[in-house]
């Protein structure tokens, strides 16, 4: 049964236990099977994905599961999550939702993602009734519009057409998104020497999404883990072939409504790396210059095997 929130954009899946289903779009990825009132199952997009489950996909699916148990009048304003174990992209993920609290203005949910009886991911999310109040925001940096920014094909074509497995996955139909780096992507920049720990990236989904705000919030959550930690490699001129990156904990705050199928600028910076860990922060702006979300992630950096 397809949840009413995404009925206009997702197809209903008739799942067969033990048979892998491969979603064909991001809407499909977010179209979870409801097993019970607070129990859901999601599937990997597969494609050219390397041998672990993409963390943003798990986070997006977990947030969809949480949102399906909350009144549609309440929108998510924050999530905090921990990546506990690598997920297997060849297997479904089961999401168990705990209804922590439903107050007059706020609802809190906890979601545990499980594969083969082991918890791989944990998320807490808060939903609220939007109110009125004072407003201010850090301005959007001055960057070229996405139409004037090079595509991944442009960047990697000049580099001989080769790219990392993650970059190849970005360009598959299963990934279902467009990514445009304002500056040279970190994987290529490592060859040019150190630079500031900052990168600006335009993102939007490849397909039109339903109008439901929850779908757009979950699509941005999906994108929030994309190549984020590589920002911390820029000052050291190292690539993912030399340094292994793993997400540890992740947080997103949603400030204003937005559409993930329209261009969003991710302005990323890494203020510190120490003790094998790195912190990366990001502000997300819509094309009108409005700050719509903020992201923070700590990750593990260690020599690649």
pLDDT tens digit string along 95-126?
Answer: 999 999 999 999 999 999 999 999 999 999 99
Domain membership of residue 134 (yes or no) is: no
Look at residue 295 in the predicted model and tell me its pLDDT.
98
Distance in angstroms (rounded) separating the CA atoms of residues 113 and 34: 14
DSSP conformation class of 185: P
Look at residue 141 in the predicted model and tell me its pLDDT.
96
Instruction: Determine which one of 44, 163, 199, 297 is catalytic.
Output: 297
Domain membership of residue 42 (yes or no) is: yes
- Predicted TM-score (pTM) of the model is 0.87
Q: At what angle do helices 213-223 and 55-67 cross, to 10 degrees?
A: 160
CB-based contact 43:22 (threshold 8 Å) = yes
The answer to whether 21 is a known catalytic residue is no
Look at residue 94 in the predicted model and tell me its pLDDT.
97
User: Hey, what are 110's tokens?
Assistant: 């906890």
Domain that holds residue 289: 4-129+148-303
Domain membership of residue 142 (yes or no) is: no
Phi, psi (rounded to 5 degrees) for 266: -100, 110
The answer to whether 225 is a known catalytic residue is yes
Instruction: Determine which one of 57, 163, 247, 294 is catalytic.
Output: 247
| Residue of 74, 79, 77 whose CA lies nearest to 60 | 79
The CATH number covering residue 95 comes to 2.40.160.210
Look at residue 148 in the predicted model and tell me its pLDDT.
95
User: Hey, what are 93's tokens?
Assistant: 């993920």
Q: How many domains does the chain have?
A: 1
Residues of the chain with pLDDT under 70: 1-24, 45-51, 158-175, 305
Instruction: Determine which one of 28, 31, 212, 225 is catalytic.
Output: 225
Domain membership of residue 251 (yes or no) is: yes
Find where tokens 């979950």 sit. Answer: 218
The answer to whether 297 is a known catalytic residue is yes
Domain membership of residue 91 (yes or no) is: yes
Domain membership of residue 138 (yes or no) is: no
Domain membership of residue 137 (yes or no) is: no
The string of DSSP letters for 245-287 reads EEEEEEEEEE-S---TTS-EEEEEEEEEEETTEEEEEEEEEET
Domain membership of residue 30 (yes or no) is: yes
Look at residue 29 in the predicted model and tell me its pLDDT.
86
Question: What is the sign of the dihedral through the CA atoms of 212, 125, 108 and 103?
Answer: negative
Look at residue 165 in the predicted model and tell me its pLDDT.
61
In the chain the beta strands, taken as DSSP E runs, fall at 33-36, 39-42, 75-83, 93-102, 106-115, 118-128, 177-181, 198-205, 243-254, 264-274, 277-286, 291-303
Distance in angstroms (rounded) separating the CA atoms of residues 121 and 109: 14
């Amino acid at each position: 049964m397809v949840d009413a929130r995404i009925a206009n954009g997702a197809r209903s899946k008739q799942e067969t236990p033990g048979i892998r289903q491969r979603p064909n779009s991001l809407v499909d990825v977010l179209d979870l099977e409801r097993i019970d009132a607070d129990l859901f199952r999601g599937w990997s997009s597969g494609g050219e994905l390397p041998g672990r489950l993409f963390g943003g996909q798990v986070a997006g699916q977990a947030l969809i599961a949480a949102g399906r148990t909350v009144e549609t009048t309440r929108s998510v304003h924050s999530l905090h999550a921990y990546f506990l174990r690598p997920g297997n992209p060849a297997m479904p993920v089961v999401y168990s939702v705990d209804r922590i609290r439903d107050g007059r203005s706020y609802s809190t949910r906890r979601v545990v993602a499980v594969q083969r009886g082991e918890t791989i991911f944990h998320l807490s999310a808060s939903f609220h009734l939007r109110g009125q109040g004072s407003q201010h925001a850090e301005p959007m940096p001055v960057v070229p519009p996405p139409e004037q920014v090079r595509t991944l094909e442009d960047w990697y074509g000049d580099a001989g057409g080769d790219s990392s497995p993650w970059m190849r996955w970005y360009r598959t139909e299963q990934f279902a998104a467009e990514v445009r780096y304002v500056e040279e992507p970190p994987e290529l920049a490592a060859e040019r020497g150190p630079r500031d720990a900052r990168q600006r990236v335009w993102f939007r989904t490849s397909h039109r999404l339903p109008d439901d705000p929850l779908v757009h919030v979950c699509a941005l959550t999906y994108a929030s883990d994309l190549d984020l930690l590589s920002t911390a490699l820029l000052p050291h001129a190292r690539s993912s072939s030399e340094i292994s990156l793993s997400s540890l904990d992740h947080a997103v705050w949603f400030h204003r409504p937005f559409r993930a199928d329209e261009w969003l600028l991710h302005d990323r910076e890494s203020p510190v790396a120490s003790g094998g860990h790195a912190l990366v922060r990001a502000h997300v702006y819509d094309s009108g210059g409005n700050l719509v979300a903020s992201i923070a992630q700590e990750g593990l950096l260690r020599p690649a095997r």
